[in-house]
Structure 1
Amino acid sequence: MALRPVQVNIKAVAAPAVGRFWAEALGWQAYGSGATTYVGPRGGLVWPDPALLGVGVVPVPDRKTATKNRTHIDLATTSAAHQRELVARLLALGATPADVGQGDVPWTVLADPEGNELCVLEPRDVYRDTGPIAAVVVDCADPRDMARFWGEATDWTVHEATDDLARLRSAKGTGPYLEFLRTPGTKTTPDRVHLDLLPCPGDDRTAEVSRLRSLGATDLDVGQGDTPWTCLTDPDAHEFCVLSLP
């Protein structure tokens, strides 16, 4: 029994427009699917993608506050020229420079058109085969505890777990990393970005949710009502959802 991360869920007032931004940013395509705009590889909608982590942009009525998201996407680049080109292209698409206290670093911090932070990384060997998304990065108090919870919650493998950083990746060795970065401060507002998980074929969502609770997850009521997904938080209060099999 395990759950597979299938998409990064991003909340936006103008979901189709933000979906198009992320499609251009990743070199993918935006697909309309009901209220949600799904962003995945070109060539037709495949959900869930068998290898990659997609992006789902969900409409909400309220705009993002000035509070930094605790979860963001890092974009991979293959050269210094690629990094410069990608930053310029994102700015032209409506991204804005963001200061999250990063100081003088070799990566560039931006925000999407509705203020969700992202980083355009300098080339790094560890991300050479991840595809356009290098990592989904989560601020936390205890990376080792996050490695324990998420390593047991999902079918992803823990590659590293220290006091400062935990790193997980699909056991297939494909797609981005999920990283937990030790960060001062505590959560004060709901995040606009979170992970959506899906049971593996043959597994039962209700049983999986019960298993997550036994690992330390907590039920979350965001006014979702009677839905085919379950909202939870991990032991460090990061929101996530367990979806139903299609």
Structure 2
Amino acid sequence: MRLENIVLQARDPHATGRFWSAALGLVDLEPGSPEDYEGRLWVDDELWLDLCVEPATEPPPLGWRLHLDLRGGEQQAEVVQRLTGLGGTRVDIGQGEVPWVVLADPDGNAFCVMEERAAYSDTGPIAALPLDSVDPQRDAELYAALTGWVPAPGVGPVTLRHPSLRGPLLELCPEPEPKARQNRTHLDVRPTPDGPDQRGLVELARSLGATLATDDWAHGHPWVVMRDLSGNEFCVLADAED
């Protein structure tokens, strides 16, 4: 199994996708639906993540439970300047005086450009994926089982990373408030030939406390929409081909 997709929602997926393609240096892909955008981030010759943007009808609400932290480091100011030149905007979400810079993509999805941190070595342009959690240790057990990622040094209370210790960190962070609505950003995991198939991966997730989403919009897809123990949506995709 593998973590395959970071999925965003936007009112204009193509315009938002063009921003993220330029921001992250993605290789544009043919999406599953003409309404969507999909691009691939190559971390190295063998490790990649796809960023997908799907349609939404409403602007993003406050309360980002999963967002992207981009690597800035010593070039933080230059990265911020480049991203604002691409259409990003500075936003105030109540962050106060912090060493990172909060921006929003053209649809209003907030993300951060981070300062220099030792934990961000070899991450590529996405330094981390902070995810709000009721119980970070408990939720980390679920995501480790579903992705094959392993505990690693990081900034959050519990951090997972690809076993190669390359690519972004998945940081499980204490939630500031309970989840109130469908997340604007979520993760997709994919079964692989060397592990459980889709049904087996769903059952594994359920054995670790995840639940099937019962909302009308969650049905009728080749993927299975689930929620972790903190209520965050994720999808189990169809079986990978050999």
Structure 1: stretches of 5+ with no match in the other structure: 43-48
- 1:110 matched to which residue of 2? 103
**SS of 1:180's equivalent?**
strand
Distance 1:142 1:41 in 2: 29
Q: Tell me the residue number matched to 2:78.
A: 85
Q: Among 135, 141, 152, which residue is 2:128 paired with?
A: 135
Q: Where do 4+ consecutive residues of structure 1 move more than 3 Å?
A: none
**Residue number in structure 2 paired with 1:193:** 185
Q: Distance in 1 between matches of 2:48 and 2:76?
A: 21
| Partner in structure 2 of residue 218 of structure 1 | 211
What amino acid maps onto 2:143 in structure 1?
A: W
What is the distance in 2 between the residues matched to 1:182 and 1:136?
14
Correspondent of 1:126 among 106, 119, 125: 119
Moved more, 214-223 or 229-238: 214-223
**1:176 corresponds to which residue?**
168
TM-score by length of 1: 0.88
TM superposition shift of 1:243:
0.6
Question: Which one of the candidate residues 72, 91, 105 is aligned to 1:98?
Answer: 91
Q: Which of 32, 35, 45 matches 1:34? A: 32
Amino acid at match of 1:56: C
In structure 2, the partner of 1:57 is 53
Quote the residue 2:71 is aligned against: 76
Q: 1:107 to 1:161 in 2, by over 3 A?
A: closer
Contact persistence 2:13–2:55 (CA under 8 A): yes
- Alpha carbons of structure 1 residues 185 and 224: separation in structure 2 relative to 1, 3 Å: closer
Name the % identity.
Answer: 38
Q: Quick check: 1:241 aligned with 2:235? A: yes
| Cα distance in 1, alignment partners of residues 204 and 50 from structure 2 | 25
| Contact 1:9/1:195, CA 8 A, preserved across alignment | yes
The one-letter amino acid paired with 2:150 is T
Of 152-161 and 118-127, the range deviating more from structure 2: 152-161
The residue aligned with 1:25 is 23
Give CA-to-partner distance per residue, 1:177-234, whole Å, 9 cap, x none: 1001113211111111000100122431111101111110110134243221000000
CA distance in 2, matches of 1:225, 1:6: 20
